[in-house]
Structure 1
Amino acid sequence: MMKVTRPLSYILGASMALALHYSPASAAGAQSPDPAAVKAVTERFAADLAKGDLQAISRLYTDDARLLPPNAEAISGRAAILAYFEKILRPDLVGGAQFDHYEIYGGANAATSISQIRMLDTNGHVVERGRQTIVLLKQNGEWKIHRDMWSDTSPANTGNP
């Protein structure tokens, strides 16, 4: 099952990025998103995570946002996202996150950000590496996460069960 899921998540992320990048608005020369403003969303996520402020993290999402975690069903809505994060991003388990190697696509009101992510334990050691693809929408002049999908970049298990 793992062999199918990882390539599928990469394909979905690439498809979302290409769809936004080559949308008719982009082809018509619409304004590109401000990369610094788009990056600031994940930087706020990392700063809030380092403080253990999961409520603040949940406010980075649109009301009808969806998380698309690996090997799990979609989590829909800000309240459900907060409940999910309260289980997996507890301050006693996760110390923070670092994002880099951004690719940003889109227009003035919708963007896709693809980045590398490193999850840190409470001592600041890297415990997981992965990629994140988020689709952001601009609402009331502020970028909000509308879709959030990530995968790990651990070597695939090639052994037989």
Structure 2
Amino acid sequence: MTFTKPFSYLLGASMALALPCVPALAANSQSPDAAAVKAVTEQFAADLARGDLKAISLLYTDDAKLLPPNEEAISGRAAILAYFEKTLRPDLVGGARFDHYEIYGGPEAAASISQIRMLDNKGHVVERGKQTIVLLKQGGEWKIHRDMWSDNSHANTND
């Protein structure tokens, strides 16, 4: 019993010394490749501005899933391209801007949370929302594996 008391004091003192390091460790829990993760979303915006929906679909893993608001999941790169051909047609959408990023994860998987503004063909904001994507590193490149978003408009409560 006398051994456990000094041991518990030593353990307590060690923890007291380690606690100031916790914020530094938490700050470093962000993906070490945060710029590359963010670049995927920025590439999505650049491809959308050019109307290149095929290029956008290539940003996704083969078995990716879109999780659009108020719809069933869309699974697989081909189905994602077909969905974008209906919803992101250049005559409907002029582009997107992403900002206020939060990026978490590690060297092989990451999550990116951002604010999104959808633009019309004249560059005017037509929708504001939020996006959460899960990315996986495949062949040395970050690819979108899950993509979920919502808009900031109020739900219609007059049913």
Give the conservation status (yes or no) of the 8 Å contact 2:29–2:104.
no
What value does the CA root-mean-square deviation take over the aligned residues? Answer: 1.8
Letter aligned with residue 115 of structure 2: Q
Deviations 1:24-74 (A, max 9, x none): xx99x9883311101100000000000000000000000000000000000
Aligned to 1:94: 93
Deviation at 1:127, TM superposition (A): 0.4
Letter aligned with residue 78 of structure 1: R
Question: What's the TM-score once normalised by structure 1's chain length?
Answer: 0.79
Distance 1:30 1:132 in 2: 21
Look at both structures and tell me which one has the larger radius of gyration over its CA atoms: 2
Alignment of 1:11-160 (within 5 A): 32-158=31-157, 160=158
Deviation at 1:98, TM superposition (A): 0.1
Letter aligned with residue 130 of structure 2: R
Letter aligned with residue 63 of structure 1: D
Distance 1:30 1:94 in 2: 36
Flag as ranges the 4+ runs of structure 1 deviating above 4 A.
none
Matched length: 134
Distance 1:126 1:71 in 2: 22
- Unaligned runs of 5+ residues in structure 2 are 1-24
- Unaligned runs of 5+ residues in structure 1 are 1-25
Question: What's the TM-score once normalised by structure 2's chain length?
Answer: 0.80
Deviations 1:60-114 (A, max 9, x none): 0000000000000000000000000000000011000000000001110000000
Identical residues among aligned pairs (%): 84
Give the conservation status (yes or no) of the 8 Å contact 1:31–1:108.
no
